[in-house]
Structures are given as structure tokens and as C-alpha cells.
Amino acid sequence: MHRLSIVLSVVGLSLLITVILISGLPLHVSAQSGSQSPREISVSGAGSVTVTPDMASVNIGVETDNPDLTTSTNEANTKVGAITKTIKDLGVAAQDIQTASYEISQYTDDNERTHFRTRNVLRVTIHKIDDLKKVINSSMDAGANIVEEIEFSVSDTRQADRTASQTPV
């Protein structure tokens, strides 16, 4: 008798679980059984290629410091004018020389005297990378005391892009 009771309990529990599972299923399951979900294939990859730069960009400029605002700005502007002329004389086109920043700040020194600092910086693009050193040195000779943010690049990336896209990872 005890054994029969256990068997009936297991059968009853199984029926209960089956009813719960069936009642929890959505009614439209049978309608989906005949439909097919879309199939897709997704592929991704990456290619890499190393190129030699053929051009460069550099910030070149001056920073002046003077107790007189007009003197500080005039000195900075005069030096940047000389630097611009020097760079153009080296064959860099006018459109490849642009003002990158122009800043004037005021501060008080240890003796509580007011000073003005003027910073005038050009962004110069050099299409013949071999001229970079000459442009920097000549600019320094013309009065530059700022050389920063040198970036090397490639003027035409189309061939490198094609090579990278065809190179397996």
C-alpha cells in the first residue's frame, strides 16, 4: 500500500508539472512551427599595413614675455612674421601655414610686477618630409622658441587601404 501511494504521488506530480508547462506555452506555437527564421552569415576581419610617411605637420611659434602688453604682442607678431617669411622662402605654400593658436595671458611675478605673455603658434604642413628638419632649424634661426606636435602622415592612403583590405589577418 505504501508503495502504491508513492507511485500515485509521482504520477500526480508528473501530471501537475505537465499541466503547468502546457498552460504556460503561448497559443501561437503551432503557427510558428511551419515558419522559418531568416538565415544570415556575418563575417568580419581586419587588415594592417605599415607605410612610410611622406609629409609632416608641426606647430612652430613664439612666446614672448614683457611688462608691457603692446610690446609683448608686437614682439610675438614680428617674430611670427619673420618665421612665416622664412618658411615660405623654403618653398612651403601659404595655404600650408595657418595660425594654430594665439593667446595672451597676464601674471604677476615674485616682485608683484604685472607681465604679459603672448603665445603665437603656426601649424605648418610640409609636403616634402625631407624638408622638415630644414623648416624647423630655419624657424628657430628666425626667432621661434616653440616647436611642438610633430605629426607624420601619408599624403595618399588609397594604395595602403587597398593593401590592408586584401591582407588576411
For position 167, what pLDDT does the model report? 67
The pTM of this model reads 0.66
Query: How does pLDDT run across 74-116, given as a tens digit for each residue?
Result: 999 999 999 999 999 999 999 999 999 999 999 998 889 999 9
What ranges do the domains of the chain cover? 55-158
CA distance linking residue 35 with residue 76, whole number of Å: 76
Fold of 55-158: Alpha-Beta Plaits (3.30.70)
- DSSP, collapsed to helix, strand or coil, labels residue 146 as strand
| Beta carbons of 51 and 45 less than 8 angstroms apart | no
